[in-house]
A and B are shown apart, each in its own frame.
Chain A
Amino acid sequence: MADATKQAEQAGQAGAPGQREPILQVRNLVKHFPLTQGLLFKKQVGAVKAVDGISFDLYQGETLGIVGESGCGKSTVAKLLMTLETATSGEVFYKGQDITKLSGRALKAVRRNIQMVFQDPYTSLNPRMTVGDIIGEPFEIHPEVAPKGDRRKRVQELLDVVGLNPEYVNRYPHQFSGGQRQRIGIARGLALNPEIIICDEPVSALDVSVQAQVINLMERLQDEFNLSYLFIAHDLSIVRHISDRVGVMYLGKMAEIGTDTQIYDYPTHPYTQALLSAVPVPDPEAREGRERIILTGDVPSPANPPSGCRFRTRCWKAEDKCAEEMPLLAVPSLYEGEDTPAAHESACHFAEVKQVVGAA
């Protein structure tokens, strides 16, 4: 516990909201998936370093957005926080308790407070269960939340909360549209009155007009129930819209983390800069003046990441030092102690602000 507090101080969250207590503290979280060879006698020949030493805090009532390209480890982080995967090493403190070390009853109690909404509204709901059974399923595991006699009423309340007709309880998932199914997933996530909801690409599969409905709903519910969201997405515009703070991941590591203004208007990590510059802006008048950083090459395999800085094989600023020394996630010395939005954590030896979004 004392250890946790000290580490949290070290992780010094520049721009963290006020003096609020973090509800979740993630420290040096690692997940390696073994790569094996041979059918009968499996021999480990290496490991996919899906998550390789990640630290961040999540505060009560805030939304922390996590962005990064396919395969960088976002969903693995989500599964580790949900204890659906066992961490290779590292800690996840929920109100000071390390949940990676919990089991049995204590784990069950924590799990009630951390729920998840998944990406795919088409496959994440069991097609043979009614909507009522799907939303009420968490009550089977946690009967203390809603005694048997109250369940139907509680499920109907939840449907109402997410803007669906309470009379739909006996319908099946295929009778709903994608946006409606995502609302069902959100209702199920809310069933146990959790404090934290991990959202893994919750609107990626939806059409723009429906996306807006679901995002507005999620923001309303957050205010109403004081929820904390970890919001994973690859759409940087949506993440900016919904997040208070944003973390940028690359190949299993956090490249940069800060408030939405710090990350979008004052990015200091070359990867964040490239990512932001690549997002098409819905304004044809801006197309001529914009600078595009077009990266060459592909993302390296997480089974065999580059030495030193993981971004160096695609980075236009890379120097010899980048291959030799791994940059730590810290406020760049250039901005240390200065009162500027550039003073936020970035894992680059040569971190420096470059404005790429709407820079006039």
Chain B
Amino acid sequence: MTQQYEKAAAAVPLLDVRDLHVEFRTRDGVAKAVNGVSYSVRAGETLAVLGESGSGKSVTAQAVMGILDSPPGRITGGEVLFRGQDLLTMGAEARRRIRGAKLSMIFQDALSALNPVMSVGAQLGEMFSVHDGMTRKDSRDKAVQLMERVRIPAAAERAGDYPHQFSGGMRQRIMIAMALALEPDLVIADEPTTALDVTVQAQIMDLLAELQREYNMGLILITHDLGVVADVADRIAVMYAGRIVETASVHELYAAPAHPYTVGLLGSIPRLDHKGKELYAIKGLPPSLTDIPAGCPFNPRCPRAQAICRTDRPPLFDVAPGRASACHFWKETLDDAG
């Protein structure tokens, strides 16, 4: 690839989600789970999507992957551009091809994502026979290679084993193998290590980073762990009540957050490398999605809130190139942090 071509390719993001809206019809009314999310990822880049439980991280990913639970879920607006083409409006066949081979997803719970009554080798092999039209023998060999690649010991002997016969960490590695089997351009990993122990988490993140470098994949890492984000991400998008409230490079964000919610999150985690005093705790609870506060959704919990915050919804203000914050007082927040 020439350098110029590389530059041009980098100019169009791999995935560009624009102003995405998703609603769920529930007993208590319409839950606005995703309210105008925009984010983008380039080849070789890792974007971390961070947010508390219920903030819409998984639903956004499901809408991108086309696996949204609908009904009750419904995409009510926005675009999902893959290499510039909108997945939401393109023909069903073209969409299926892209989602099958170019995008893939790693879930938190490997046991429920794998087929319990099919051997691991057969599940991996099936990917090649279905998508690449390989023979049984070839796809089986490929499956074993892949298991070796994700460091399953004695892969050839274990290919006939079923998911429940593997440990949690091994199952997660097998799911990574499945997600990467067809060498996708983009992988969305939804809390891939949340259920695992820290030594196993370290193994898995290490493996994922290595494979990402090798294939130059774009990676969206959904997590609520600020430590994992600092370790592996290039950029970060912080979500709150179905919106992106801040996006920045990890270095900028940890050095000086530009949104009061991010300030609160960073203050409320205990540190391994020194023992702090009392933890900073964000008061109150995240809002109910059927009843999101007017103005800034964070205003009932925000120590900086003013009258304008209760009436005017802050848009994503540009803070610096590649950096934005949805806060009327981003400047003051940034000044105080710096």
Contact = CB atoms under 8 A, between A and B. Distances in A.
Interface of A: 69-70, 177-179, 207-213, 215-216, 219, 234, 236-238, 240-242, 260, 264, 274-287, 292, 294-299, 357-358
B290 to A, nearest CB: 15
B274 A278 contact: no
Contacts of A277: 202
Contacts of B168: 70
Contact of A281 (B224, B231, B278): B231
Contacts of A213: 281, 283
Interface string B259-295: 0000011101111111110111111011000000000
A264 B270 CA distance: 14
A264 B274 CA distance: 9
B225 interface: yes
Contact of A179 (B224, B225, B265, B285): B285
- Size category of the B interface is 35 or more
A260 B255 CA distance: 27
Contacts of A276: 272
Contact of A69 (B197, B205, B230, B274): B197
10 smallest CB-CB distances across A and B, nearest first, come from A280-B227, A358-B273, A241-B270, A212-B268, A278-B202, A212-B281, A209-B282, A212-B279, A69-B197, A207-B52
- Most A CB within 10 A of own CB, among B170, B226, B268, B286: B268
Interface string B151-188: 00100000000000001111000000000000000000
Contacts of A287: 230-231
Given A240-B275, A278-B201, A285-B251, A211 B228 contact: no
B69 interface: no
Given A274-B199, A282-B254, A237 B272 contact: yes
A241 B170 contact: no
A178 B52 CA distance: 12
Contacts of A207: 52-53, 224, 286
A336 B197 CA distance: 33
Contacts, number: 132
Contacts of B269: 208, 212, 237, 282
A212 B273 contact: no
B190 to A, nearest CB: 16
A357 B198 contact: no
Contact of A280 (B231, B254, B280): B231
B132 interface: no
Contact of B202 (A210, A215, A219, A294): A294
11 contacts: A179-B285, A207-B53, A212-B269, A274-B199, A280-B205, A280-B225, A280-B228, A281-B227, A285-B255, A357-B272, A358-B272
- Most A CB within 10 A of own CB, among B225, B265, B282, B285: B285
Nearest to B283: A213
Given A275-B198, A298-B170, 7 more contacts: A179-B285, A207-B52, A208-B52, A264-B272, A278-B202, A282-B229, A282-B269
B275 A212 contact: no
Contact of A216 (B205, B230, B281): B281
A283 B254 contact: yes
A210 B230 CA distance: 21
A274 B200 CA distance: 11
A280 B133 CA distance: 41
Contact of B203 (A211, A295, A357): A295
A186 to B, nearest CB: 15
Interface in B181-233: 197-203, 205-206, 224-231, 233
B105 interface: no
A216 B53 contact: no
B250 interface: yes
B250 A216 contact: no
B285 A177 contact: yes
B274 A234 contact: no
A234 B197 contact: yes
A330 B173 CA distance: 37
A292 B207 CA distance: 13
B224 A208 contact: yes
Contacts of B224: 207-208
Nearest to A68: B197
Contact of A284 (B250, B270, B271, B276): B250
Contacts of B251: 284-285
Contact of B198 (A211, A234, A242, A285): A234
B167 to A, nearest CB: 5
A210 B206 contact: no
A236 B203 contact: no
B275 A208 contact: no
B68 to A, nearest CB: 23
A219 B278 CA distance: 9
Given A216-B281, A280-B225, A237 B230 contact: no
Given A278-B202, A294-B203, A238 B254 contact: no
A282 B225 CA distance: 9
Contact of A241 (B225, B279, B286): B279
B94 to A, nearest CB: 38
